[in-house]
């Protein structure tokens, strides 16, 4: 059986590794073409939450993750096909280096037949940049390689030296100069959230202006996107009202998770644990991850919200808490400076922020109705007497998986679950 196809210009932005400027360049390309009147859809490869916030500001439309392990090939194809039906340009930002991880960005780009643009940080190199580009272009012969963009170029002479080293068969799109106006601020989990950067639009516009003098000012060639076999999610949440925390303390949530909850019949109602004094009228609560440790005093002092969540729990209504939402359910959070904030206290124990990464990687999360694929990334440790209901199973089984806790109808873990990997298991988390 054949399925419908559509074509749209598309580019996969990658690099030899992290810290080459992929997010800045992807945002700049997106904003440049939006300013030319194009409708640009942007995607982020991998499970990241922070880069999509920046990219969403750049293109003005929701940014979804693409991840072969979390969601599978069919879901990746569906998201891209639907985007191609409405967009003038599709951009996919990679994660880490082009060939890093299993599956890696090259696997996704090759599967989708989307040409790859290599963004290479030119700091500390000149003609050798061409050798790096040549390796990226030829390491996997079946990969479609569009060309190279040199980033952080110090001067016109630096650009000339880079050009000398570019093999003649490779396309050099040009250079982006080293400029502090383009730099995006970072903190312990990655980039600072978009809404916290007061001059973000100015930074993106400055970078977009630089794109005008490169070959990326032209739209790339069109790529054919195929609609996968259609599937209809089960209508398991009809009539269920789900309250979802959404503010600067709780913002790490997959847009596709919200889409699936709606598709299964749920009504979504958003609230802010930072600003609101009561919950909306809901049957279940979803507390996503984020940065509660940066808002200890406000969360601690919002006594009416704490009381509302405690009452919701006592009434036997479901609560699902991921990572930062999990920390919020504990008795307290202690930040890296040693300051403590009293949290909801529905789970016994305390979260202690660390100076280094303490959890990272893909895991399968066993839930009551089946396994949800998930990812973890955090800088805290938990001290609790509570016995876990289960543990996540790491994709590469390098160490013990994250604990999953269940107390009455409260389910909590460090794991960020991708609901479309098992809609039935996701629905069970919210059913009264």
Closest CA to 46 of 91, 104, 6: 104
Question: Whole-angstrom Cα distance, residue 303 to residue 192?
Answer: 28
Which residues lie below 8 Å from residue 42, measured CB to CB, with a gap of 6+? 26, 30, 52, 55, 56, 58, 59, 61, 63, 90, 91, 92, 93
The Cβ of residue 142 has, within 10 Å, a number of other Cβ atoms equal to 7
Tokens of 327: 């920390």
Question: Whole-angstrom Cα distance, residue 33 to residue 204?
Answer: 12
Question: Whole-angstrom Cα distance, residue 267 to residue 344?
Answer: 25
Beta-bridged to residue 250, according to DSSP, are: 247, 290
Question: Whole-angstrom Cα distance, residue 134 to residue 166?
Answer: 8
Backbone angles phi, psi at 13, to 5 degrees: -90, 120
Question: Whole-angstrom Cα distance, residue 283 to residue 165?
Answer: 62
Out of 8, 76, 105, 323, the active site residue is 323
Do residues 363 and 375 lie in contact, with contact meaning Cβ atoms separated by under 8 Å? yes
Tokens of 108: 């996704």
Closest CA to 381 of 406, 357, 348, 409: 357
How are beta strands 222-226 and 267-271 bridged, if at all?
unpaired
- The number of angstroms, rounded, from the C-alpha of 326 to the middle of its chain's C-alpha atoms is 19
In this structure, the chain runs to a length of: 432
Strand order in the sheet with 241-245: 267-271, 241-245, 284-287, 319-322, 410-413, 403-407, 390-391
323 is a catalytic site residue: yes
| Residue where the block lists tokens 């406000």 | 298
Do residues 112 and 67 lie in contact, with contact meaning Cβ atoms separated by under 8 Å? no
Name the percent of the chain in helix, strand, coil, to the closest 5. 30, 30, 40
DSSP letter at 130?
A: H
The residues carrying an active-site annotation are 323
């Amino acid at each position: 059986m054949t399925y419908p196809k559509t074509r749209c210009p598309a580019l996969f932005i990658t690099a030899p590794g992290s810290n080459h400027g992929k997010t800045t360049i992807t945002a700049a390309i997106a904003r440049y073409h939006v300013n030319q009147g194009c409708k640009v859809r942007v995607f982020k490869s991998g499970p990241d939450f922070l880069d999509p916030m920046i990219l969403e500001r750049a293109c003005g439309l929701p940014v979804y993750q693409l991840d072969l392990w979390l969601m599978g090939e069919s879901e990746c194809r569906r998201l891209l096909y639907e985007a191609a039906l409405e967009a003038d340009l599709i951009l996919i930002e990679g994660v880490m280096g082009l060939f890093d991880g299993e599956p890696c960005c090259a696997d996704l780009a090759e599967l989708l037949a989307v040409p790859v643009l290599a963004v290479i940080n030119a700091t500390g190199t000149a003609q050798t940049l061409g050798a790096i580009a040549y390796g990226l272009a030829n390491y996997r012969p079946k990969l479609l390689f569009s060309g190279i963009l040199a980033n952080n170029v110090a001067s016109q002479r630096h650009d000339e030296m880079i050009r000398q080293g570019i093999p003649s068969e490779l396309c050099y799109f040009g250079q982006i100069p080293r400029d502090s106006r383009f730099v995006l601020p970072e903190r312990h989990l990655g980039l600072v959230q978009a809404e916290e950067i007061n001059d973000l639009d100015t930074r993106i516009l400055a970078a977009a202006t630089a794109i005008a003098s490169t070959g990326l000012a032209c739209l790339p060639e069109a790529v054919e996107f195929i609609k996968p076999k259609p599937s209809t999610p089960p209508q398991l949440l009809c009539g269920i009202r789900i309250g979802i925390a959404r503010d600067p303390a709780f913002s790490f949530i997959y847009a596709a998770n919200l889409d699936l909850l709606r598709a299964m019949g749920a009504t979504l109602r958003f609230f802010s644990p930072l600003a609101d004094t009561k919950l909306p009228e809901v049957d279940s609560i979803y507390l996503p991850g984020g940065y509660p440790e940066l808002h200890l005093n406000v969360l601690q002092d919002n006594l009416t919200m704490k009381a509302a969540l405690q009452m919701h729990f006592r009434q036997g209504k479901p609560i699902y808490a991921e990572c930062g939402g999990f920390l919020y359910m504990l008795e307290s959070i202690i930040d890296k400076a040693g300051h403590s904030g009293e949290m909801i206290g529905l789970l016994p124990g305390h979260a202690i922020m660390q100076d280094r990464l303490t959890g990272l990687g893909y895991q399968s999360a066993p839930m009551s109705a089946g396994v949800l694929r998930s990812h973890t990334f955090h800088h805290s440790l938990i001290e609790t007497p509570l016995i876990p209901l289960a543990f996540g199973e790491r994709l590469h089984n390098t160490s013990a998986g994250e604990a999953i806790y269940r107390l009455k109808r409260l389910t909590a873990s460090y794991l960020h679950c991708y609901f479309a990997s098992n809609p039935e298991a996701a629905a069970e988390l919210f059913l009264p």
